[in-house]
Chains A and B, each alone.
Chain A
């Protein structure tokens, strides 16, 4: 199941593990990405904390932890090829996986319809 944040991130929940990335709309707004910095494995993060950075040709932007938890995987493929986020943001271009402290928090995120209403 996939939900969204107002900061244009998606959260795909699978058990208590959540895969997070930026939406198609976000990559389109940012333009060509040239650099991605991801959080360290094992880092404990709080909801709303800026934990990753994306740099387009024009500017740097933060990527936030949508929920609290621990980083359990990061996507080396987008570090090696930041353009992958532009080409396939919601599948191969994922950013990191978190083990959620409280999986029930997921319910508080935006549904696809609610997110699309923001665009």
Chain B
């Protein structure tokens, strides 16, 4: 097995009651160090149904499948919904396999393209628009606007009971494995230079921010956090954020830095 890929399945971490953090780390060499990144799915449990946010990075599907089995073994509601923020392999590649393994489940949200990616499963796609929600029992999972995105079709999600925002590519940044930063929340790794890492991600993965004015997006982001009274942010590619007031400004600084940095791609 590759030295760059997870070789053990870590136990899923319950961030707050009924919100589970799944997946592992993928590694990439950068500037003489090994950076770790996430493509994390999250399981959202209501009283009657569970919903999986993001369907996993292809290299980690085997781990996500085992983690879902672990949680299933603890009891809880059945998995009835899979919601992927957008149509890219690190976010949605496990959808087909998870639907097959969970006959009750349907894929909800932005479902364009998938009839060609997962042919034969079209009758289990339920398109949903921003503003619509799903009743999981005791909580609603709302589809909300994706303020920071790459694909225009991107949607974000929000859990109303625990006030958790699932922002896909938003709030993305890497961490260092050798510093013991894996599977930690942002606030549990105070030594991690979050702004710096967020800038790097923006520069590499949010190319469009180099050519546009990022300030209107930041304004919308801050307004959304206030309006929804977000208490926990669960990004696909970053450490979960439990202290909004302390950590979000670092992400914002990183977005601004990433939008003005020169090309940091590996040299020719």
On whether the two chains bind one another, the answer is: no
- B binding-site residues for A, Cβ under 8 Å: none
